A and B are shown apart, each in its own frame.
Chain A
Amino acid sequence: MSVEAFVRARQPEWRRLAALLDASERLPIGELGAARLAELVRLYRQVASDLNEARSYTANPELLGSLNDLVGRGYRFVYRRSHARRWREATRRLFTAEIPRSFYAARASVVTASCAFLVGVVVGGGAVLAERGNAERLIPSDFFTESPRERVERIESSEERIVSVGDAAAFGAMLYTHNIQVSFLAFAAGALTLVGGFVLLFYNGAILGALAACYWLDGVQGFFFAWVGPHGALELPAIVFGAAAGLRLGRALWLPGDVAEPAALRAALPEVARMLVATIVVLVLAGLIEGSFSQFTGRTFPHTLKTAVAVLLFMLLMAWLFVRRGAHED
């Protein structure tokens, strides 16, 4: 058979398959109908066979490329995952079962990331407690326009910074969008280099430790914990979670073990994606709290109350993610 005759004979089926695939991409799968679905699957098998046959007749890149693409589209349709979703049920299941299960499964990465961060806190805090001058080496200069004691006195004696819901929302939006992007960077650095994630965690921990030590040395640590605590109880773990998700993915990329790297990646991706979703949600909450509740002075909300709220938020977060329940056993 000549190539031209082959094309003339088969082209109507190729066009029909292309039309069915176009329809499948436009319509929900339920609206395609059983008859068209069966025809699509049959034509996909036929066209895959035509591609093999065409390769024996010709090396024409136009023909083979077009057939290759058509078979590729058919392949992606036939082997795709089900898209049937009930969004409300899926979202509920995501937050009540799948995210906690993913964190529990990735607890080794979370513990490792937490340790890197805490080591940074200890090193940063220890360095400043040993010698006050180390603070200026560790902490960005923006924090040194005044001493901690001067800052506390200024804030506690001035008007409340946040006077409306709009102000709180605006400030919170800037905070959580910034923090989410920083966590994306930490995730990517951890996933692609492993070392990068550890360095970022240690560095952030060191800054926090150094800052806390500065306030401690000035005798205003109560203000510090009340100021950082309510949002920090969520934000700091979220930073760790983002980096932990990156380390989890990085382990699949760089240390897949006995499994081939692509398979290890694909196995890790659902877990990692759920950890990222949780990180984003927690950072949004943290940003809103930082933009509102955290900003209030001791005159409005006593420091002990803000610190207690911080402890409660931290415990709730840990309970959501790590306390095993019946749902974890799915």
Chain B
Amino acid sequence: MRLIPAGPGRRFIALLLDASCAIAVAAALTLPLRFVLPPAALQAAAVTLSFVVGWGWYVLFEAFGQGRTPGKQLLGLRVVDSRGLPLTLEQALVRNVVRALDFAPVFYGLGAFVSQSDTWRRRLGDLAADTLVIRESREFEALGELRRSDEFNSLRTPRVLRLVRRRVSMEEAELLLALTLRADQLGDAARYDLLESVGRHYREKLELGELPISGRALVQGLASLVIGERRPSSRRLGSRR
């Protein structure tokens, strides 16, 4: 099992989301008290509630929410023990108390600096509590979008199959699969340019000449071929010349 540390960008956005939510909750709890408490007592309640919600938000959600505050959950992040185990209450408390130093000199400047210098992207609180913030990848539903290998494919000729086996390595095969799965996430222009560029590369490598299909169709066709031609690890798909 591997742990993938979360990058500073996502962590920062999650932090902003959590801070906004905490402020909103504290305000929502304080507002009704305006109608029942005198001004001095209201001030005491407001100060206390702001403090408790502001600090307690992170501790309680991380300790009892499987390491996820609402902001972290939205961004696909989770706080775990450095061994990948769930966070303990003690770890949640210590990593968030040290937030007082991470916040120095202004809005997490020190914490961000330390996090950028650390291999696991840990801020000071993570170092003190032996925790990590990891990124959880998306579900594997996307695998269902892979083209079935028995659809019509103009590339499926004995000559091309032979060249694919010999000249397309496992790493290239994975690249073709990844392109096929992720191409729709790109903008139109970027997708077109990328797939045309990759298509040109494989036209040349596999001696496909002026085959009248687009770069996208070429990449998808090749991806379909490599799925259908996949062998167990004892017989590799192809090797570089």
Contact = CB atoms under 8 A, between A and B. Distances in A.
Contacts of B177: 60, 62
A96 interface: no
Contacts of B170: 58-59
Contacts of A276: 93-94, 97
Interface stretch (B12-20, B77-85, B210-218): B77-85
A189 interface: yes
A51 B2 CA distance: 11
A135 interface: no
Contacts of B43: 166, 170, 173
Interface in A107-164: 164
B38 A188 contact: no
Contacts of A75: 1, 84-85
B168 interface: no
A4 B127 contact: no
A166 B37 CA distance: 9
- A-side interface size class: 35 or more
Contacts of B137: 62, 65-66, 68-69
B98 interface: yes
Nearest to A3: B230
B204 interface: no
A272 interface: yes
Interface stretch (B23-31, B139-147, B154-162, B193-201): B139-147
Contacts of A25: 66
A72 B41 CA distance: 48
Contacts of A165: 41
Contacts of A265: 128-130
Residue among A1, A14, A166 with max Cβ neighbours from chain B (10 Å): A166
B90 interface: yes
B140 A166 contact: no
B47 A173 contact: yes
B30 to A, nearest CB: 12
Contacts of B4: 65
Given A3-B227, A4-B149, A192-B98, A68 B1 contact: yes
Interface string A175-194: 00100110011011101100
A300 interface: no
Contacts of B90: 269-270, 272-273
A104 B83 CA distance: 30
Contacts of A266: 130
A272 to B, nearest CB: 6
B124 A188 contact: yes
Contacts of B190: none
A307 B194 CA distance: 79
Given A4-B146, A270-B90, A66 B97 contact: no
Interface stretch (A30-38, A76-84, A203-211, A225-233): A76-84
B140 A72 contact: no
Contacts of B109: none
B100 interface: yes
A240 interface: no
A310 B138 CA distance: 59
Interface string B37-57: 111110111011011000000
Contacts of B100: 181, 184-185, 187-188
A63 B149 CA distance: 18
Nearest to B63: A83
Contact of A269 (B44, B66, B129, B181): B129
Contacts of B64: 83
Nearest to B144: A11
B127 A192 contact: yes
A169 interface: yes
Interface string B117-141: 0000000100111100010111110
B94 A192 contact: no
B3 interface: yes
A231 B82 CA distance: 40
A272 B40 CA distance: 35
B233 interface: yes
Interface in B162-190: 170-171, 174, 177-178, 181
A62 B143 contact: yes
A173 B48 CA distance: 6
Contacts of B88: 81, 269
Interface of A: 1-4, 7, 11, 14, 18, 25, 48, 51, 56-63, 65-69, 71-72, 75-76, 79-81, 83, 164-167, 169-170, 172-174, 177, 180-181, 184-185, 187-189, 191-192, 249, 253, 262, 265-266, 269-270, 272-273, 276-277
27 contacts: A4-B149, A57-B230, A57-B232, A57-B233, A62-B137, A62-B140, A62-B142, A62-B177, A62-B181, A66-B140, A68-B2, A76-B66, A80-B85, A166-B39, A166-B44, A169-B41, A170-B47, A173-B43, A173-B51, A177-B48, A184-B98, A187-B98, A262-B130, A265-B130, A266-B130, A272-B94, A276-B97
Given A192-B101, A265-B130, 14 more contacts: A4-B149, A58-B170, A61-B174, A75-B84, A76-B66, A164-B40, A165-B41, A173-B44, A191-B98, A192-B98, A265-B128, A269-B90, A272-B94, A276-B94
